[in-house]
Amino acid sequence: MTTDHDNPEPPEPTPSATVDTPQPAPAPVAANATTGASQPHDEASIREWEGLRADTIILTPAFTATPMRSPDNVWAMLVSAVAIVGDTDPDRAGEVALFAGQWVVDQPPADSLYDGDLVVRLSSRASTGHENEPRSRDVSTDVEMLLARHGRWQRVAQWHGVDDHWPRIVAPTAAAVMGLHCDLTEAVSGFEDTVALDAEAGDELGWNRRNLEVRHTARIRADGTIALADGRVFATPSGAATALSGHQQNGWVTFQRASDGRTLGDLRAELRARSGQ
């Protein structure tokens, strides 16, 4: 099967942009890995292991059929987490260890609140079976990857006619785009606007990764940045979550406000609703 690629280069990091060295963390278990009692062995346990929301879809490793089209009345899938095995494990280097996302019903504005969000959109190509199998089935899909940046949803990559292995094909690009964006110096104002709903400087954020028996904590600083328990400071939730996990994470869907358990993404959506967008 031929796959066409349209993969423009993301913007280069600014000279002043810096990134803290990620903390080592156990890599997600690959689909063919041997699992033990304490390791994730199904979709639910991987969500627990990674501290992902209950509505998160684990695309890789795959435990259910890969979606080949977006559900009706759904705009796109928000990429929640992606992990690619590095050179520290030569036998598995480049392998997609984790690719996860969640469906987004409505297209949000690509303003400062959503800057850095990465989504994929699926458009299936149906094939009609034999005459005794009149119902069509999804045999391939077109995948479009969009990044919220500078006030608009920008296409960063596109694949045509890929089969149900598309998550493993597009995950490396997703990791690269998310990683580059975390390297960039992001505007603090968008994050300040979100937590200003009810939160104050000093409010605690938490991220429970139950199967790892880890609870990450962070605090919101007066300037809207996030300070981790070890003293490192990040401009965005995703930068902080990525540093904690050791692979790319969307911190808006992982961090919860300790006072009420609501994710930063929930607060962001509430602010959007209040503003009438």
Query: Mean pLDDT per 10-residue run, the chain (277 residues)?
Result: 48 36 41 45 89 94 94 96 91 94 93 90 70 58 95 96 96 95 57 48 83 85 86 88 92 91 87 73
Tell me the helix, strand and coil percentages in the chain, rounded to 5: 20, 30, 50
CA 58 to chain CA centroid, nearest Å:
11
Sort residue 202 into left (φ over 0), alpha (ψ -120 to 50) or beta.
Answer: left
217 exposed, middle or buried (CB, 10 Å; 0-12, 13-18, 19+)? middle
Q: What is the pLDDT of residue 64?
A: 92
Of 248, 272, 234, which is closest to residue 19 (Cα–Cα)? 234
Instruction: For residue 239, give the 3-state DSSP assignment.
Output: helix
pTM: 0.77
Angle between the N-to-C axes of helices 237-245 and 166-183, in degrees from 0 to 180, rounded to the nearest 10: 120
At 4 the pLDDT is 52
Spatial distance between the Cα atoms of 269 and 85, rounded to a whole number of angstroms: 33
Token pair of 275 as six digits:
């503003």
Residue 211: the pLDDT is: 67
The contacts of residue 83 (CB under 8 Å, 6+ apart) are 27, 28, 96, 97, 98, 99, 175, 245, 246, 247, 248
Please tell me whether the peptide bond between 61 and the residue prior to it is cis, using omega within 30 degrees of 0.
yes
Task: Report the distance separating Cα 254 and Cα 256, nearest Å.
Answer: 6
Closest CA to 178 of 147, 221, 140, 204: 147
Q: How far is the C-alpha of 66 from the C-alpha of 59, rounded, in Å? A: 7
Instruction: State the DSSP string of 11-60.
Output: PPPPTT---PPPPP-PPPPPTTS---TTS--SHHHHHHHHT--TT-EEEE
State the Cα–Cα distance between residues 30 and 89, nearest whole angstrom: 13
| φ, ψ dihedrals at 125, nearest 5° | -115, 105
* Angle formed at CA 20 by CA 18 and CA 26, multiple of 5 degrees: 145
| Distance between start and end Cα atoms, the chain | 41
Determine the Cα–Cα distance for residues 59 and 250; give it in Å rounded to an integer.
16
Structure confidence at residue 2 (pLDDT): 44
